[in-house]
Amino acid sequence: MPIRATKRGTERTRLERDCDVLICGASFAGLAVARELAGTGAHVLVVDRYEIGERQTSACGIPTGWLQALELMGSHRQEFGELVIHSPHATARYQLPWSFSTFDYRELCALLAQQGSFEFETAKVEGPPPANSEAMHVVKTDRGEIRAPLVVDALGWRRVLGRGAPIQPPDAYLSRGLEVHPHGRGEELEIWIDRRYVPAGYGWSFPAGDELRIGVGSFDPRFHVKDPTVALARDLERDPSGYQGNWIPHRIREATEGGIFFVGDSAGHCLPLTAEGIRTAFYFGIACGRELADVVAGRQSRAAALARYGAFSAAHRWQYEWMLRVQRLIPRVPPRVLGPALTGMSVKRFVDWSFSHYLAIAHPDYVSAHGDRARAGAHLAASQSPPMPASTASGGSIA
C-alpha cells in the first residue's frame, strides 16, 4: 500500500496566492516545465493533489538516454539492450540501437524537483475552466483561488483546465492501462501481442531491480484489463499484487486553449501504439518551459509563447497520427501472420532504422539543445527520419 503523505481535512489551510507561473500537476510534464524555469527569477507555484512522487503513474520505462540527459540516473533501476516480443506463434528478439531503462518514480520525481526552483502546495485543481482575462488567469482549487498570468495544465488525461466538455472514456481517444508490481527479479524487457490477453493492445513485463511491473494495456477503452493483467501475472508465476492503473490518451490534442499551456497527457502527448508518455512529457515540458522563460525575461509576450508552443506541438501531429494508424492496424493482422512479420522485422538494419526514427520523435538531445533548435525549430530535427534501409523499404514498419 502506498503511504499517503498528502495533508487531509483540518490540516489543509486556505490557499489564496498570486504567482508568475502556476504549474498544475507535479508529475513528469509539470516538473519538466518547472525545471526550465529555474534561474529565471519567476515566482513559480506547482500544485498537485498528492505530494511529489507519492502516486506512481506508470511502469516507468524510458530510453536510458533521457535519464542521462536529465541527470536522473540516481533513480535508475535496470537497463535493457533487447526487447522481446511474444506473439502466439513466435517470439522475436529486437537488439535495440539504444537502451531502455526502468526507474523508481518517487526517486525520479525528487531528483527532477530538485532541479527546479519553485514553491509546492498540495491542492486539487477544480473546474470550471478559469475565466480568461487580459492579464491574469484565476484557477480554482479545493483550497482557494490562485492567480497567475502564465498557467500550465500538466494534470494528465482529464485536461482539467480545458474549455470543451470533459472527455470521458469510453468515447474519448483513451486506452486503458493496469499493472501489478510483484516482488521479484527478471532479466528481460518483454511485450506480449496476444489476443488471449487483449484483443487490441499488449501486455508487458518490465523488471525494475527487485520488483516486476507486469501489466496489460487495451487500445479499446471498453475492454477491461484487470482479468488479463492477473492472467499474465499468473502465467509468469508472479503474485498479482500492488495494482496501479490509469487511462492513457492515444491522440494528440491542441496544446494551447483559452490562454492555457497543456503539456504531457493533458495534450495527448503520450505516443499511440507504445503508450510511451514519459519522455514526451519531458520533451514537451521542456519546450513549454523554454517559451515561458522567454515571457518571464520579457523577450516575448504570452500570446507569442502560446503561438510558438502550440505550433511546436502541432508540428508533431503527423507522427502521432501515423503511430495511431499502426495502432489500429496491428490488431487486425491475423495471429498466424503476426508472428512471422514480427520475426521478419527483427532484422538488425530494420530495427536500427525504425527504433532510431521512433526515438527521434522526442530525442534526449533536445535537453541540451540551444538557441533556435531548442525552441520552435526543434521539431524539424525531431521529425527528420533516417533513410530507410533499401532491403526493408517495402517491408512495413512497427514505429
Ligand X SMILES: Cc1cc2nc3c(=O)[nH]c(=O)nc-3n(C[C@H](O)[C@H](O)[C@H](O)COP(=O)(O)OP(=O)(O)OC[C@H]3O[C@@H](n4cnc5c(N)ncnc54)[C@H](O)[C@@H]3O)c2cc1C
Residue owning grid cell 503539456: 263
Give yes or no for residue 27 binding ligand X (CB under 6 A). Answer: yes
128 burial type by CB count under 10 A (0-12 exposed, 13-18 middle, 19+ buried): exposed
Give yes or no for residue 29 binding ligand X (CB under 6 A). Answer: yes
Nearest approach in angstroms of CB 7 to ligand X is: 13
C-alpha cell at 333: 493482422
Tell me the pairing of strands 256-257 and 144-148: unpaired
Residues 21, 46, 58, 174: which binds ligand X (CB under 6 A)?
Answer: 58
CA distance 244 to 355: 28
Residues 34, 62, 255, 260: which binds ligand X (CB under 6 A)?
Answer: 62
In sequence order, the 6+-apart residues with CB closer than 8 A to the CB of 196 are 88, 231
Give yes or no for residue 277 binding ligand X (CB under 6 A). Answer: yes
Give yes or no for residue 300 binding ligand X (CB under 6 A). Answer: no
Give yes or no for residue 313 binding ligand X (CB under 6 A). Answer: no
Q: How many residues in total does the chain contain?
A: 399
C-alpha cell at 316: 508533431
DSSP 352-397: HHHHHHHHHTT-GGGGG--HHHHTTTHHHHHHPPPPPPGGGTTS--
Nearest approach in angstroms of CB 166 to ligand X is: 11
CA distance 141 to 121: 11
Name which of residues 230 to 249 contact ligand X (CB under 6 A). Answer: 245-246, 248
Residue 99 near residue 79, CB atoms below 8 Å: yes
In sequence order, the 6+-apart residues with CB closer than 8 A to the CB of 121 are 15, 17, 45, 46, 47, 143
| Cβ-based nearer residue to ligand X, 207 or 339 | 207
| Cβ-based nearer residue to ligand X, 46 or 150 | 46
Residues 275, 286, 341, 361: which binds ligand X (CB under 6 A)?
Answer: 275
Residues 37, 61, 151, 283: which binds ligand X (CB under 6 A)?
Answer: 61
| Cβ-based nearer residue to ligand X, 249 or 339 | 249
Nearest approach in angstroms of CB 49 to ligand X is: 4
Give yes or no for residue 216 binding ligand X (CB under 6 A). Answer: no
For 180, phi then psi, to 5°, come to -120, 160
Which listed range, 12-20, 233-241, 269-277, 305-313, lies at the site for ligand X (CB under 6 A)? 269-277
Nearest approach in angstroms of CB 317 to ligand X is: 17
Give yes or no for residue 139 binding ligand X (CB under 6 A). Answer: no
| Cβ-based nearer residue to ligand X, 317 or 373 | 317
Across the strands, what pairs with 206? 213
CA distance 334 to 299: 55
Give yes or no for residue 101 binding ligand X (CB under 6 A). Answer: no
Residues 17, 22, 44, 48: which binds ligand X (CB under 6 A)?
Answer: 48
Q: Which residues bind ligand X (CB under 6 A)?
A: 25-30, 48-50, 55, 57-62, 124-125, 154-156, 158, 160, 177-179, 215, 245-246, 248, 264-265, 270, 275-278, 281
